[in-house]
Structures are given as structure tokens and as C-alpha cells.
Structure 1
């Protein structure tokens, strides 16, 4: 069972998200919060597998709450719920505690898939959001793409394959099955490629893969 904490200051949004999550018998919403501070407190109390956080919340916004949860409850994966008007927040969050980003107006199946992916230790970054994140980072896209390709070129062929699958949202277990490897070997590849690329988390790795053109948007 995947235990989920849901945080949004709009009651109707919480009701809608909870209704979507309730369609999956493998997901259980164990707590709800109306602001970021409450979300952090409930994460400490319930230790959920996944925390779904709205970006704009009172007292403490979703990104600051994500950072605190990542620091205080490292076993909880954090997914940021966002709208297109909040893309700048996504760019700011790339170096923080979020493991994924989902659109509030997206397909309900994407929400469920994202919750499962993050619960399994994968990043959740759809190509649609990746495009907008890269655009939000500002000018110099050609320079960034060239730099990203150069960084990726330093990886081994197997590491590039693993990075591509990470960018597609696969967990370590799914990558292991796809490549006929044991999960421990995939973890070793992940450690190596993240060190070579100087990225802090799977989301940063996924964005770099998109910038380098490893994934078709």
C-alpha cells in the first residue's frame, strides 16, 4: 500500500485529488494538510511514502515544505502539484527536495502513475513539463543543449541508456527489468552517472537528459 499525504489550501482541489487517488486500491491517503507547515508536521507524524504538495500555500509554500520534508523525512518522496502559470516555481525547485512535478489539469492517470513512480524511487517529470522547465530557465538554450550533450558524452553507453530510462520516469526496478540487470547494478550506474553529471537528484538528471536530446519530447 502506498501511503500518501495530500496538501493543498483549496478544499475542492483536495477533494478532487483524493477522489482520483481513491480509484487505485494500492493508494491510501493517510493525511491532508491546508498549508505547508501543516504538511511538514503531518509528514513527520505519518511518515508517508509520497507527499503531494501544492505550490502556492499559506504559512509555508510547497517548495519550502518539500525541502523540509526531504530533510526531515528522507523516506518520503515529494511530488509538486503545479499549473502552467507556476512554471518558475518548478525551475526553482529542481535543486530542492522534490522528486516530481505533476500538472493539476493533467490526466488523472498521470497522477496515479506519478505517485507509483515516486513511491518506487523514480523521478516523475513528463516531457511536457520538462519542455516548460527548460524554457523557464531562461535564454541560452543552445548553449545549455551543447553543454548537456558534452556532459552526457562522458558517460558510458550503459550509463546513457540508464539516464534515458530515468528521464522517461522508470524506477530502478523497472530499469533493471528492462535491461535484464539486478537492481543493485542499476543503483550503481545511477550513483556513477549522477556523480559524473554533477546532479543532485533524479529530476535534475531527467532535465539534463531532455536538454541533451536523449528523450523525444
Structure 2
């Protein structure tokens, strides 16, 4: 099976009904934005949207099941990989696309091993969303150009290198996220943070994903650099 990047064009079909999409994303504004983008396109229909996968049980009662699931890999209240396993059990014909900021290689390997069909960067252009979903729906495997950073991320990284500060009060961290940020700055691993805060490792991983998303950064090192520049959160 051919593996393609999101910059390649999906295979065209002579006839294609609307691709039915289930959207699972716990950021409400992002969830509504993605749904609106897809619903505006003639080839897609968002049949359900959810913050944590509850829509799966609702869909089983309907005649129209999704062709593709867009799954947030950084869910705050659920383990995304476990939810993916549930989706494959409940909806065995569905194809799953993971959504993330900048997925690391471990995330990609785990997702592929679990049977995932594609990745899409949350800050990707709308054309990449369209081609990725179409390609996966047609049976292809799609990986993102993970070495390509968004322009906004490059601007922030440059600002950190040049010593320019980003106002801490402009980032709406939760109390737990602030704790995780501080521990990342101390060089702790996810397992060490989990032990320190008495929470599950996958919960820490979800917090890290959310922190990166809010800061529009790509790596834990950038989080630490931000904290050091700011003198703490």
C-alpha cells in the first residue's frame, strides 16, 4: 500500500458520494471550525462531533455510519489510542485519521501499529485537510510532512532565540497545565511528572499536547525555553 504525504493529490474517483466524517476533538472552537470547513465542502458531511467519543454510541443507532474518523491525539479526558481501539471494534470498517500539532516519531509508530490510516497537522492548510481525508477514504495511508513547521511556530521559536518574551497572561493555562509546564522546565519526563502529580502517564501526555497547542510550539524544549525566559508561569 502506497504511503503518501499531505502535499500529494488524492486519487480521483469517477463517482463519489459525500464522505461521512466523525469528528472527535475536545477543543470546542477547533472542533466547530473543522466541522464548518468540512461541511462547506461538497464532498464531506460531518455526521457527528464529540469531545471524547460519546458520538460513537449514538452513531451505532443510525443507518449512516462514518467513513472516516478525525481523532484528536491529545484528548484531555481519554486515552486517544484506547479510544481508537474502541472505534475499530465498534466501527470495524471506519478509517481513522489522527489530528495533532507536531506528532513525534513515537506517536506515529504507536498510531500505525494500532491500525491508523493517516495523520493531519492541526495547523495544516485547508487543502491538506481535504486531500488527506479523500486519500484515506479511498484506502491510502497518509503521513504528514512532520519536519515542516508552521510559519507562526517559526516566528515564536525565533522570538525565544532572540530573547523576546511572549506574555504569559496571553496563554490560558489550566492549573494542572501550569504544574506540568513547570515540571517540564525542570527536565522531568512524562513518567516522572505523572508520579509527581499522582496522575496517569497518558494524562500527562494529553496535557503536554494541549500545552504545545496553546503555545503553538513543537517541542518540550521550547516549553522549557519559554518558562526560562518568563521566569516561570
TM bucket by the smaller chain?
Answer: 0.5 to 0.7
Structure 1 runs not aligned, ≥5 long: 133-217
CA offsets 1:47-73 (integer angstroms, 9 cap, x no match): 200110101214423222122212321
Q: Which residue of 2 aligns with 1:104?
A: 122
**In structure 2, what is the Cα distance between the partners aligned to 1:59 and 1:44?**
22
Structure 1 stretches of 4+ with a deviation exceeding 6 A read none
Question: How far apart are residue 45 of structure 1 and its match?
Answer: 4.1
Query: Do residues 78 (structure 1) and 114 (structure 2) align?
Result: no
| Count of residues in Structure 1 that have an aligned counterpart in Structure 2 | 129
Query: How big is the alpha-carbon RMSD for the aligned residues of Structure 1 and Structure 2?
Result: 2.1
Q: Name 1:69's counterpart in structure 2.
A: 87
| TM-superposed deviation, 1:19 | 2.1
Indicate the SS of the match to 1:64: helix
Q: Look up the match of 2:141.
A: 123
Q: Secondary structure at the match of 1:94?
A: helix
TM-score of the two chains, using structure 2 as the length reference: 0.50
**Alignment pair present for 1:2 and 2:26:** no
Deviation, structure 1 residue 111? 0.7
If asked which structure has higher relative contact order (CA below 8 Å, sep 6+), I would say 2
- Specify the SS of the correspondent of 1:32: strand
> How many Å separate the matches in 2 of 1:86 and 1:16?
25
User: How does the TM-score come out when normalised to structure 1?
Assistant: 0.54
Structure with max Cα Rg: 2
C-alpha displacement at 1:86, in angstroms? 5.5
Q: Is structure 2 residue 60 aligned with structure 1 residue 44? A: yes
Aligned with 2:26: secondary structure? Answer: coil
**In structure 1, the residue corresponding to 2:21 is in which secondary structure?**
strand
Correspondence 1:30 to 2:50: no
